[in-house]
Amino acid sequence: MSSDWELNLDKEQFLAQHWQKAPLLIRGAIKNFKPPISSDELAGLAYEEEVEARIVEHQEDNWQLFHGPFSATDYQRKHPWTLLVQAVDQYIPEVAQLRKLVDFIPQWRVDDVMASYASDGGSVGPHFDNYDVFLLQGEGHRLWKTGQFCDSSSPLVDHDSLRLLSQFNTEAEYLLEPGDILYVPPGIAHWGTAQGECTTFSIGFRAPRITEMVSRFTDALIEQLDPDLFYSDARIEVATRPGEIRPRDLDRVSAQIQAALDQSEGNHWFGELATEPRYEQFPDEDELSEARSQLSDGANGIELNSAAKLAWQHEAGRVVVFANGDSRSFSESIMPLQIALSDAWKLNKAELAAACADPESSGWLDYLLESGCVFIL
C-alpha cells in the first residue's frame, strides 16, 4: 500500500491563497504515483449493487445520464462516455490512502474519493460543485478548463438530471498528466475532457449547509430550554395605535431570542453532523461480540475502517469522540490514543495492549467498535 505518498505542495501558501478561493494546478503533485485502482477494477466495482455509479455519455450537446449498477454491455458505447464511481475509498483501502494527501485540512472536511474512467473525448460537461475538490489524474491525460464563479443563479442547460452550465467563460486550461492535481474551489466552473482514455480521482470535501447547522443547533437548544418560558414585556410602553407591532416590541423579541441562544450549552451537534456516514454500516451483535472476544484474546492491533467518519474535540478535561454521526465523552487520558489513531489510522499490538489494560481506554475502544469505526487486526 502506498501510504508513503507525499503531496508536493506548500501547504501554508495553498491555504492562504487558494483554499476556497482560486484554482491551483499542482504539477507532479505526487512523485512516483501509481493509480491505486485500474480502469478495469473500477468498471468491475460499478457492477456491485450497493455501489453508487453513473455513466454520462454525450454526442456534442446531447448529454445522457445512466445510473448503475452496470454490466459489461454498458461499457460498449457509440459516443464519448465517462463512468463515475462514488466513495471508492470506502471499498478500496488503497484509494482511501489518497485522503492522507490532504491531511493538512481537518479530516472531517473530507467527504469521499470519487473515481472516474473516461473514453477518448469523454466528459461530464461544464458544471460547478458546491464543494472543494482535488482532481488527481490517474491514468492518461485530461484537459481541464476552469471558468467563472457560479452560484444558484447561474444559467443551466435545460436537462432533467444533469446540472450543466449554459455559459462557460474559459479562464485557464490545464492538460493533466498522471500524478498532477488540479484543485478547484466551490463554485468555480470546470470542464474536463479526456484525451485518450483516462482515469481521475476526485478527493471531494463536505461542508454542511448553514440551514442544516441552524436546524441542528436549534434542535439541541430546544432540548435545553425550559418550555414554560414565555414572551414577556414588563414595563411596556402605552399603545397609542393598538393594532401595531412596534419596533420596541420586536426589539424585545430579538433580545429574548438572543438570551435563549446565549443559554445554549455544548456544540456536539456539530461533530455529529460533520461525521455523519454516507452509508450506514454499523456492526451487528454477532460481529460485535466476535470483535470483543478477539480484543480480549490479545489482538495484533486495530485499524480504521475505510468508511469511518471519526473526529474529536477537547473540552474541559474531556475528549468528545464523534464516530459515524454519534458522540461520546471520555476522560482526556484517552487523548494520546485518539491522536495516534487519527494520525496513523491504526494502533499496533503494544498500543492496543496498553489501551485494553486501562478501563477508560477500553471503553473508548469498545465505542469505536460499536460505531463501526475500527476493525480488529
Q: How many residues bind ligand SIN (CB under 6 A)?
A: 9
Q: Which does 185 bind (CB under 5 to 8 A by kind): Co ion, ligand SIN, none?
A: none
Q: Which does 309 bind (CB under 5 to 8 A by kind): Co ion, ligand SIN, none?
A: none
Cell, residue 106: 481537518
Q: Which of 126, 192, 277, 372 binds ligand SIN (CB under 6 A)?
A: 192
Query: Please, which residues bridge with residue 119 across strands?
Result: none
Cell, residue 210: 448553514
Which residues, at least 6 apart from 334, have a Cβ–Cβ distance to it below 8 Å?
Answer: 319, 321, 360, 361, 364
Closest CA to 34 of 169, 138, 175: 138
Q: Give CA–CA dist 282/326, Å, rounded.
A: 12
C-alpha 369 chain-centroid distance: 21
Binding mask 95-134 for ligand SIN (x = CB under 6 A): ---------------------x-------x----x---x-
Closer to ligand SIN at the Cβ: 82 or 97?
A: 82
Q: Which does 107 bind (CB under 5 to 8 A by kind): Co ion, ligand SIN, none?
A: none
Q: Give CA–CA dist 294/297, Å, rounded.
A: 5
Interface with ligand SIN, residue 54, by CB under 6 A: no
Closer to ligand SIN at the Cβ: 29 or 133?
A: 133
Q: Burial of 44 by CB count in 10 Å (0-12 exposed, 13-18 middle, 19+ buried)?
A: middle
Q: Which does 319 bind (CB under 5 to 8 A by kind): Co ion, ligand SIN, none?
A: none
| Phi, psi (degrees; rounded to nearest 5) at 161 | -130, -5
Q: Which of 74, 129, 132, 370 binds Co ion (CB under 5 A)?
A: 129
Q: Which does 192 bind (CB under 5 to 8 A by kind): ligand SIN, Co ion, none?
A: ligand SIN
Q: Which of 24, 29, 74, 82 binds ligand SIN (CB under 6 A)?
A: 82
Q: Give CA–CA dist 287/285, Å, rounded.
A: 6
- Work out the angle between the directed axes of helices 335-344 and 349-356 (0-180°, nearest 10): 150
Interface with ligand SIN, residue 185, by CB under 6 A: no
Interface with ligand SIN, residue 371, by CB under 6 A: no
Interface with ligand SIN, residue 361, by CB under 6 A: no
Which residues contact ligand SIN (rule: CB under 6 A)?
A: 82, 116, 124, 129, 133, 190, 192, 200, 202
What is the binding site for Co ion (CB under 5 A)?
Answer: 129
